[in-house]
């Protein structure tokens, strides 16, 4: 697989985080609190560590399960990444609910919930075990649908990262085409101050299993 594809998978979400963070001075956030903007000790060190952990998880997955994940000689159907992400979202919904069990919240998920109203950079502000667990769900979803062609594999990885960034962006973008980004941000921002909205990409699982929480749009 071309090294440029790997570089794209790293560069695109990194640029998205930088852009979303820079937009906070010019666009309204969905919600604010008096503590917003206060740096948490070790926040960016944690983000850097989790970026490295995510990269290592992908490399380990390709080395150990490469034949199930990606096939260099294969061209995937255009909808293959969509199937992977839908399957991932179902798996992550249940992982996320499990992370809110008292023992796992206290030992793992509390790190992410230290910020009441997250921003894009907080998409990587996690306990490293949570980063690994989320990527295990993603790689398992790829293996279930795949093996994927190189382009579909990288497209899925980029889409997953971008959604994660936009979900945490906490921005209200005044453009009709940005309705999905605004919806994602509102739902996840509400999650940080309520018990619900465990899904990421679609609210379907929260609707089906009765865990939807009220959102507040700017």
List pLDDT tens digits, range 60-75: 888 888 788 888 777 7
Number of structural domains in the chain:
1
Instruction: Work out the pLDDT band at 218, boundaries 50, 70, 90.
Output: very low
pLDDT value for 39? 56
In a domain? residue 69: yes
Instruction: Give the CB-side neighbour count of residue 148, counting CA atoms within 13 A.
Output: 27
Give pLDDT tens digits for 4-28. 666 777 787 888 888 888 887 777 7
Q: Which residue has the higher pLDDT, 161 or 71?
A: 161
Element spanning 144, H or E = helix 128-145
B/e letters for 171-205, b = 16+ CB within 10 Å, e = fewer, are: bbbeeeeeeebbebbbbbbbbbeeebbbbbbebeb
167 in a structural domain: yes
Average pLDDT, rounded, for the chain: 85
- Residue 214 domain-assigned? no
Residue 38 lies in a domain: yes
145 lies in some domain: yes
Distances (CA, A) of 141 to 69, 109, 121, 122, 206: 9, 22, 25, 24, 20
**Does 215 map to a domain?**
no
All residues at 6 or more sequence positions from 207 whose CB lies less than 8 Å from its CB, including other chains: none
Q: How confident is the model at residue 38 (pLDDT cuts 50, 70, 90)?
A: low
Q: Which domain holds residue 73?
A: 3-209
Q: Which of the 8 DSSP states describes residue 111?
A: G
The pLDDT score that the predictor gives to residue 148 is 87
Place of tokens 């609190």: 33
Contact 187, 205 (CB under 8 A): no
- Indicate the length of the chain as a whole number: 218
Task: Establish if 79 belongs to a structural domain.
Answer: yes
Flag whether 217 is in a domain.
no
């Amino acid at each position: 697989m071309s090294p440029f594809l790997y570089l794209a998978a790293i560069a695109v979400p990194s640029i998205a985080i930088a852009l979303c963070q820079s937009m906070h001075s010019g666009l309204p956030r969905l919600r604010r609190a008096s503590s917003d903007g206060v740096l948490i000790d070790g926040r960016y060190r944690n983000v850097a560590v989790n970026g490295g952990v995510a990269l290592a998880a992908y490399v380990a997955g390709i080395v150990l399960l490469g034949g199930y994940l990606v096939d260099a000689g294969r061209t995937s159907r255009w909808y293959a990444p969509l199937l992977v992400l839908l399957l991932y979202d179902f798996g992550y919904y249940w992982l996320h609910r499990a992370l809110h069990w008292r023992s796992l919240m206290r030992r793992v998920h509390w790190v992410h919930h230290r910020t009441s109203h997250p921003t894009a950079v907080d998409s990587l502000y996690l306990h490293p075990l949570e980063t690994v667990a989320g990527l295990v769900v993603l790689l398992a979803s790829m293996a279930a649908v795949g093996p994927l062609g190189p382009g579909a594999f990288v497209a899925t990885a980029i889409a997953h990262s971008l959604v994660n960034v936009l979900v945490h962006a906490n921005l209200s973008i005044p453009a009709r085409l940005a309705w999905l980004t605004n919806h994602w941000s509102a739902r996840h921002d509400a999650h940080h101050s309520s018990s619900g909205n465990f899904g990421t990409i679609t609210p379907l699982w929260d609707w089906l299993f009765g865990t939807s929480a009220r959102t507040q749009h700017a």
